[in-house]
Amino acid sequence: MTTLHVLPVDDLIDHTDSEDCICGPTIESIQHDDGTIDWVITHHSLDGRETHENDEAEAPRRDWWARWRPAIELIFVLASTWLSGAILHPSSDVTDWIFTVVLAAYLAWTITSYIHTRRTR
């Protein structure tokens, strides 16, 4: 029979290696095939880190928007900066206007996709 104590690092108090520790540890038993039982005593931190970590933890997101959002937002910022400059200081070059129209369509698609993604969650 073995007893394993799992202690938090850098806690506010010093934990004792017993079930009577002030933190109110959780005690679990592990039964092996040969019939022996090992005990795992998990001590809890008193600085609130366990509560904070569990409340703040966000489940990993696997959708494409979560993976590509930083890149899309960067493109959006750069494109909107360029687009505002093109509207405030228009040139007579046809290529610039075509690029501006394509960029505006892309920005409209990005915003629409963002709104749709937010509504479907």
More confident residue, 100 or 37: 37
Q: Which of 43-57, 69-83, 93-107 has the lowest mean pLDDT?
A: 43-57
- Determine the pLDDT at residue 113: 74
Q: pLDDT digits over 1-23, tens only?
A: 678 888 888 877 787 787 788 88
Count CA within 13 A, CB hemisphere, residue 75.
Answer: 13
Query: What is the 3-state secondary structure of the chain?
Result: CCEEEECCCCCCCCCCCCCCCCCCCEEEEEECCCCCEEEEEECCCCCCHHHHHHHHCCCCCCCHHHHHHHHHHHHHHHHHHHHHHHHHCCCCCHHHHHHHHHHHHHHHHHHHHHHHHHHCC
Mean per-residue pLDDT, 45-59: 61
What is the token pair recorded at 29? 């038993």
Question: For residue 65, what pLDDT band results from cuts at 50, 70 and 90?
Answer: low
Q: Is the pLDDT of residue 56 over 60?
A: no
Measured in whole angstroms, how far is the alpha carbon of residue 88 from the centre of its chain? 39
Name residue 28's beta-bridge partners: 40
Confidence of residue 86 (pLDDT cuts 50, 70, 90): low
- Overall pTM surpassing 0.75 (yes/no): no
Residue-level pLDDT at 94: 66
**CB 1 within 8 Å of CB 36:** yes
| pLDDT tier, 109 (very low <50, low <70, confident <90, very high otherwise) | confident
Which pLDDT value is given to residue 119? 59
Taking each helix axis from N to C terminus, what angle separates 64-88 and 94-119, rounded to the nearest 10 degrees? 140
